[in-house]
Structure 1
């Protein structure tokens, strides 16, 4: 189960997934264009950096020579400019897409796991009780809204109904938890 049953939540999930795909594709295109621009640029001679002084200038050239040695270790046919272009394009793609994956993917996968577990729990008697308990453990304002949705019900009566195993209360609480996840109550 990858998407919610509720249309509003499903729409938000589809838009989020589409935005993630567009973000990834956009950075892939940007990296490819940057790679072509880097490889098309002619190599420039190492200029002298007058504002930094001779000591810093020498240090920067040492770093550049170390980079040249790394480039020389590259496969034949790949010059230093091509290697640098490849590394720069790879970083240009990996950093923003990696950030997206770190922020978006765990949250999305957590919802998928929770929805699948809730769907499986809703199919069993014991699972229905667990869903009902989870609904009772929500913040008090959410429990209050659940109680308001049921006739002649208060948060305290919901807890009492859960303790006594009242089927109507258990069904109502389990349904509230499924709805919170964006699923249809069975």
Structure 2
């Protein structure tokens, strides 16, 4: 089985393929960078809540430590430490709320970032990939046809059916008659014309006489 042909022979078609492939790669990188910027910007909204969470955590620890120390005071320790413990509980609730807010904002930022990256990238790939795969499949099929004399006859016939008459006249004054007569030179030229039309390198098939001469 012939190897896949990812690009056309040097031509305007090759230039178009290279430009299209480069555009897709650049588009993916641009979308990735844009998504990263948006994600970072949205996460920055959570900074005040993150700072509040840290401060509330410190305050909660201070209140807990103070309540424990006051609780050690004989007789009045329990009654004095209870209000501090209650305040510590309220502070813990506020800290949990700040933590949940930070998590919600970061989750939203991540989701939005992926959407900003994936939607335009998938759209471009859905337009680009089928076009590239069509060329690869077509090139591989033509490479199979180019592998034998019988198949090159079929390539020549395709050229007779699809090529402009002006280009056929450059090959032969009577291309159809020469093809029917089995003119090897005309058949090779027609096959090359069909390969060129599909952007493939045209390589002449070695004849049996060529191999005997070597």
TM-score of the aligned structures, taking structure 2 as reference length: 0.61
Q: Which runs of 5+ in 2 are unaligned?
A: 48-99, 204-214
Equivalent residue in structure 1 for 2:6, among 2, 21, 45: 2
Name the CA distance, whole Å, in 2 between partners of 1:78 and 1:108: 44
Equivalent runs, 1:17-56 vs 2, <5 Å: 17-42=21-46
Equivalent residue in structure 1 for 2:15, among 11, 15, 35: 11
Q: Which runs of 5+ in 1 are unaligned?
A: 44-75
Question: What residue number does 1:167 align with?
Answer: 184
Question: What residue number does 1:101 align with?
Answer: 125
Question: Does the Cα contact within 8 Å between 2:46 and 2:102 map onto a contact in 1?
Answer: no
Name the CA distance, whole Å, in 2 between partners of 1:77 and 1:126: 72
Name the CA distance, whole Å, in 1 between partners of 2:105 and 2:129: 34
| Count of residue pairs the alignment pairs up | 148
Change (3 A) 1:78 1:41: closer
Question: What residue number does 1:112 align with?
Answer: 136
What per-residue deviation string (whole Å, max 9, x for no partner) do you get for residues 133-159 of structure 1?
222332xxx33132132242xxxx333
Question: What residue number does 1:134 align with?
Answer: 158
Larger CA Rg, structure 1 vs 2: 2
What per-residue deviation string (whole Å, max 9, x for no partner) do you get for residues 118-177 of structure 1?
122112112212212222332xxx33132132242xxxx333443444323321221111
| Structure with a larger share of its residues in helix | 2
Question: What residue number does 1:62 align with?
Answer: none
Equivalent runs, 1:52-131 vs 2, <5 Å: 79-131=103-155
Please report how far the alpha carbon of residue 103 of structure 1 lies from its aligned counterpart in structure 2 after TM superposition. 0.6
Name the CA distance, whole Å, in 1 between partners of 2:131 and 2:161: 21
TM-score of the aligned structures, taking structure 1 as reference length: 0.69
Please report how far the alpha carbon of residue 20 of structure 1 lies from its aligned counterpart in structure 2 after TM superposition. 0.9
What per-residue deviation string (whole Å, max 9, x for no partner) do you get for residues 69-98 of structure 1?
xxxxxxx99722122111111111111111
Q: In angstroms, what is the RMSD of aligned CA positions?
A: 2.5
